[in-house]
Structure 1
């Protein structure tokens, strides 16, 4: 077996195609868009190259067949208790010796760069895409979410990886009964004439971006690894989402026109992208527009739910949930709701998810392997 550093167009295509062959008989597999993966490895598009480096490799057997692949990277932004590198985009046949060869190769590469541990599978970028190993809940993945065969868990754990933190997704049926206490909160808050709820509309995108930024920075920036957002950053994000925004499913709450809560949702893009086989050229874009217009999407994804601190425990969450739910039940065809993952190190956010009367729908894991096997392993700190 040998490693081949990816340098040519043919190598790149094989890197993109191999998972599809590996999972060709899995009905739940949805091929990610090639362009989404390639943006991770584009030095002009991925800002993490400014303070890090990344290489990716194919692994072939003695007769030249691809049996695995991986990306190996380091980033100065990824600050951990010891110098820690990352591995991602791991795929492998169901063979422990092959997996060990690939992981040993990655370990050696990272050791040469001064790393003392490796986390994976993670992305050379933010945590919102291609992060974690699916270990439970093997249903169709949400857009941007990793999907893998169930045997990967065994390959990782037999090698010696340990779970650094679990990534929990929560979901519910749209038309399941809403908790009675939410209805009571709604009835009570509705009597306050200073409180109002508004659904997000594209024509006022700039205003809603500013309102989102205000709520986000108050509700999350003080939490552990939270970051302050600027209005420019949020507007850029909202503009990117504009083609897929559904004006019935994202809600804001105001006190005298001052934003105090937000519940941001979008349709699950994978329910359309699964028909494109990873491609997004002009023809696929036209097909996407056709699907978006005529193919009913029955799943929506929760991106953000939060209330500013001064309104915690006052019923605003129940008010917003019922305002939004009773509206999009009537105006949309969505049947399923699932939230993007929450780390098990973040009990506050998990509590918010549970307050939405959700259940865990799938579990991913971020694994860590310490190169010094005598060193004590520690899980992610609780926020």
Structure 2
């Protein structure tokens, strides 16, 4: 008989965090996320989505042994064609019956709150972390990226989940030849005295937060489910990122003083965090600082790329990429860059990635399950 426990006390929280580590203990590619990064998602004092949403966590036990876990949630910012809830942080033994029980439990919880569909695995928060099910590329995950066994795909699809969209990750060696398209764009734009490129500096975060906000809101917020960013929140984010900002790998382009493009990258923190076993206390923080100082990190991650509409299709992306690449080759140890996931509904960004002569190294899927099984399923619309 399956027992369902809502996660409320310290022992249950500990079990929620420890179960994946036990499940993946023999998987050499698994990197345990930091406990604090997961717990902050479920803390109403730290996650703004609790203001207009609801989230619960559950453990599933059989014969007093944990066999699965999940989080299920709703929030008003997740605007879809029909009222849609989410499930995330799903882990399960390799047993379809157990997975079906978990999915049925989530479906019932969401139906009671007026939902007509559930997406998963997604995050009770922004899309930049813990979003999607890994379906190809079972290699070490990037920081904040979901990792799972290959059999999870069958667990979802056998239940009836369908792919709402795929998330593609593109990889490229830093020292590989840059596409001729970009070098031509670089040569053309560098002759324009009004155009300049600047790396992001830690001592000017207010300036770059302002410029980031302006570019992002012009380039991306008008698309799909995008939201306008506020400068004060971007600055807060930049200040939080300050300890791990590498001043050689994030770039902005200006027309005179006006920001027109950005390319934001960070080191892959998992190359250091994989030695911390999910903990980040005083000892682990000291160890992280030591690792950061003395252990080379050879992988960087592309987070955001944007060009304001009036400068799109004018080669400014090629100018920025080639300018930044020449610089970081000289001043960093990075050997590989991976573009954080790009949705298959975004052909413009996919085209840019392909022009960079990248290779798709992993795919994740955001699944959707419609409660009305007679309703026609639709994939995510193209941007």
Shorter-chain TM-score above 0.5? yes
Deviation for aligned residue 1:13: 0.3
In the TM superposition, what are the counterparts of 1:206-285 in structure 2 within 5 Å? 206-285=206-285
Task: Report the counterpart of residue 4 of structure 2 in structure 1.
Answer: 3
CA distance in 1, matches of 2:353, 2:232: 28
CA distance in 1, matches of 2:314, 2:84: 42
Alignment RMSD (CA, Å): 1.1
In the TM superposition, what are the counterparts of 1:285-296 in structure 2 within 5 Å? 285-296=285-296
Task: Report the counterpart of residue 55 of structure 1 in structure 2.
Answer: 56
Task: Report the counterpart of residue 46 of structure 1 in structure 2.
Answer: 47
CA distance in 2, matches of 1:212, 1:76: 26
CA distance in 2, matches of 1:137, 1:256: 42
Task: Report the counterpart of residue 100 of structure 1 in structure 2.
Answer: 100
Deviation for aligned residue 1:349: 2.2
Task: Report the counterpart of residue 369 of structure 2 in structure 1.
Answer: 369
Task: Report the counterpart of residue 77 of structure 1 in structure 2.
Answer: 77
CA distance in 2, matches of 1:6, 1:91: 15
CA distance in 2, matches of 1:255, 1:174: 27
Deviation for aligned residue 1:180: 1.6
1:271 alignment partner, SS class: helix
CA distance in 1, matches of 2:59, 2:283: 29
Deviation for aligned residue 1:236: 0.9
1:48 alignment partner, SS class: helix
Deviation for aligned residue 1:161: 0.7
Task: Report the counterpart of residue 182 of structure 1 in structure 2.
Answer: 182
Deviation for aligned residue 1:284: 0.6
Task: Report the counterpart of residue 312 of structure 1 in structure 2.
Answer: 312
Kept in 1: contact 2:79–2:225 (CA 8 A) = no
Task: Report the counterpart of residue 30 of structure 2 in structure 1.
Answer: 29
Task: Report the counterpart of residue 160 of structure 2 in structure 1.
Answer: 160
Deviation for aligned residue 1:222: 2.0
2:139 alignment partner, SS class: coil
Aligned length: 382
Deviation for aligned residue 1:175: 0.7
CA distance in 1, matches of 2:79, 2:181: 41
CA distance in 1, matches of 2:4, 2:267: 39
In the TM superposition, what are the counterparts of 1:193-204 in structure 2 within 5 Å? 193-204=193-204
Task: Report the counterpart of residue 21 of structure 2 in structure 1.
Answer: 20
2:278 alignment partner, SS class: coil
| TM-score scaled by length of structure 2 | 0.97
Deviation for aligned residue 1:139: 0.9
CA distance in 2, matches of 1:352, 1:233: 28
Alpha carbons of structure 1 residues 229 and 114: separation in structure 2 relative to 1, 3 Å: closer
Deviation for aligned residue 1:219: 1.4
Deviation for aligned residue 1:369: 1.0
CA distance in 1, matches of 2:70, 2:110: 13
CA distance in 2, matches of 1:155, 1:365: 13
Unaligned runs of 5+ in 1: none
CA distance in 2, matches of 1:48, 1:83: 16
Task: Report the counterpart of residue 356 of structure 1 in structure 2.
Answer: 356
Q: Give yes or no for the alignment of 1:338 onto 2:338.
A: yes
CA distance in 2, matches of 1:314, 1:127: 29
Kept in 1: contact 2:252–2:320 (CA 8 A) = yes
Kept in 1: contact 2:166–2:364 (CA 8 A) = yes
| TM-score scaled by length of structure 1 | 0.97
Segment of structure 1 superposing worse, 90-99 or 100-109: 100-109
Deviations 1:246-298 (A, max 9, x none): 01111111111221111111101111111101101111111110100001000
Unaligned runs of 5+ in 2: none
Deviation for aligned residue 1:320: 0.9
Q: Give yes or no for the alignment of 1:148 onto 2:148.
A: yes
CA distance in 1, matches of 2:114, 2:283: 46
1:341 alignment partner, SS class: strand
